[in-house]
């Protein structure tokens, strides 16, 4: 009995007969007709079959994926599953699916074929726009620095100018003709290609939707940003605030020039509850500073920062 091998790494094993497996072998039980070519699969009833998956690279609405080159009388042995789409699974070689509302998610459809063993075939695709791992958004203040953010939520100041850019490095789904749906009361200084310069109002809260024409899916909402007001009256700000498990302390560049602080400047931090008890203290250098708030009971705290002869206090709310 020939030892099974898979020289072309296509999941099919060549041992000379399509329905014979070496004793004790638990791998695929179908013969690879040409084990030097990954595009040539198994032999069944004197026919050679090379299964492949056809379907879109970018799925923007209901469409179908098809597992081809499976013998007709074996197609009942095929099932499939898919991520971030509906339905999530089914049977047969044809899958008619609709993407969920995520933008740019990397998805995968997996076909499982069972006959004298089990083998899977996979195809990756993207839904509703450019690949999310090839897209980024930058928010810069007038100093060229990025305001504090927690995921897609930025902590910004009232009546302040910011420049926002949408960056897309997905060559398969380019973007153009941007439309910026700003929060109520914000104004636009200028727009150019993928960048907009804005000015916030007295209450810099809101949501920014970025819409664009995409090469792959037409006009879609490609990104959403969220904005809340930071501690803009202080030299330092803390976010997110309220905090659950982590809070970050950073420099408010609108109030103090970062160049005024030496990279070797040492800071002392203390967290004090409303009864005056110190719950945490430490020394650190460099921003942002990560403060673990998971062990602090729910309530109001005062975060004191001391450096040289200077002292600043920030009010922190903890919610679990």
On the question of pLDDT at 198 being above 90, the answer is yes
**What domain range includes position 225?**
133-229
- Sign of the alpha-carbon torsion through 294, 295, 297, 299: negative
Residue from 207, 228, 226, 287 nearest 253 by CA? 287
In the prediction, which pLDDT does 94 show?
A: 98
Answer yes or no: is 88 within a domain.
yes
Which of 75, 107, 127 is the last residue in one of the domains?
A: 127
Beta carbons of 314 and 269 less than 8 angstroms apart = no
Same domain, 223 and 142: yes
Same domain, 221 and 246: no
On the question of pLDDT at 24 being above 80, the answer is no
Weakest mean pLDDT among 51-65, 133-147, 201-215 = 133-147
Answer yes or no: is 258 within a domain.
yes
More confident residue, 267 or 33: 267
Q: Cβ contacts of residue 150 below 8 Å, gap of 6+?
A: 239, 240, 248
In the prediction, which pLDDT does 73 show?
A: 92
Q: Cβ contacts of residue 85 below 8 Å, gap of 6+?
A: 59, 97, 98, 99, 100, 107, 127
Answer yes or no: is 41 within a domain.
no
On the question of pLDDT at 258 being above 60, the answer is no
Answer yes or no: is 42 within a domain.
no
Q: How much is the average pLDDT of 39-67?
A: 89
Answer yes or no: is 31 within a domain.
no
Q: How many domains does the chain have?
A: 3
- Kindly state the percentage of the chain with pLDDT values over 90: 52
Beta carbons of 117 and 29 less than 8 angstroms apart = yes
Same domain, 164 and 246: no
Answer yes or no: is 45 within a domain.
no
Q: How much is the average pLDDT of 57-84?
A: 96
Weakest mean pLDDT among 19-28, 112-121, 150-159, 273-282 = 19-28
CATH number of the domain bearing residue 223: 2.60.40.740
In the prediction, which pLDDT does 289 show?
A: 92
Same domain, 250 and 272: yes
More confident residue, 30 or 185: 185
Same domain, 80 and 138: no
Answer yes or no: is 11 within a domain.
no
- Long-range CB contacts (within 8 A, 24+) of 146-153: 147/230, 147/253, 148/230, 148/237, 148/239, 148/248, 148/250, 148/288, 149/239, 150/239, 150/240, 150/248, 152/224, 152/225, 152/226, 153/225, 153/226, 153/227, 153/228, 153/240
Instruction: Provide the mean pLDDT of the chain.
Output: 87
Same domain, 67 and 103: yes
106-145 pLDDT, tens digit each? 999 999 998 777 888 999 999 999 999 999 999 998 767 7
Which of 229, 256, 276 is the last residue in one of the domains?
A: 229
Answer yes or no: is 4 within a domain.
no
Which of 207, 229, 251 is the last residue in one of the domains?
A: 229
Same domain, 225 and 139: yes
In the prediction, which pLDDT does 96 show?
A: 98
């Amino acid at each position: 009995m020939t030892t099974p091998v898979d020289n072309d790494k296509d999941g099919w094993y060549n041992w000379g007969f399509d329905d014979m497996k070496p004793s004790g072998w638990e791998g695929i039980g179908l013969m690879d007709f040409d084990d030097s070519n990954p595009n040539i699969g198994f032999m069944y009833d004197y026919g050679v079959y090379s299964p492949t998956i056809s379907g879109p690279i970018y799925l923007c609405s209901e469409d179908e994926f098809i597992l081809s080159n499976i013998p007709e009388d074996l197609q009942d042995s095929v099932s499939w599953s898919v991520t971030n789409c509906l339905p999530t699974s089914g049977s047969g070689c044809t899958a008619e699916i609709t993407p969920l509302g995520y933008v740019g998610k990397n998805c995968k459809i997996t076909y499982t074929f069972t006959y004298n063993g089990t083998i899977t075939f996979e195809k990756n695709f993207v839904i509703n726009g450019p690949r999310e791992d090839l897209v980024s958004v930058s928010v810069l203040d007038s100093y060229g620095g990025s305001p504090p953010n927690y995921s897609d939520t930025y902590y910004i100041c009232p009546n302040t100018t910011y420049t926002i850019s949408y960056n897309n490095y997905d060559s398969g789904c380019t973007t153009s003709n941007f439309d910026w749906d700003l929060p109520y009361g914000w104004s636009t200084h200028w727009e150019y290609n993928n960048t907009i310069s804005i000015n916030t109002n007295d209450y810099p809260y809101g949501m920014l939707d970025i819409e664009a024409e995409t090469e792959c899916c037409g006009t879609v909402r490609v990104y959403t940003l969220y904005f809340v007001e930071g501690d803009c009256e202080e030299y330092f700000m803390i976010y997110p605030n309220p905090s659950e498990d982590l809070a970050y302390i950073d420099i408010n560049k609108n109030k103090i020039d970062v160049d005024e602080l030496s990279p070797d400047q040492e800071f002392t931090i203390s967290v004090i509850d409303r009864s005056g008890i110190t719950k945490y203290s430490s020394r650190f250098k460099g921003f942002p500073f990560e403060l673990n708030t998971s062990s602090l009971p729910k309530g109001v705290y005062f975060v004191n920062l001391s450096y040289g002869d200077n002292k600043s206090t920030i009010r922190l709310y903890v919610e679990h």
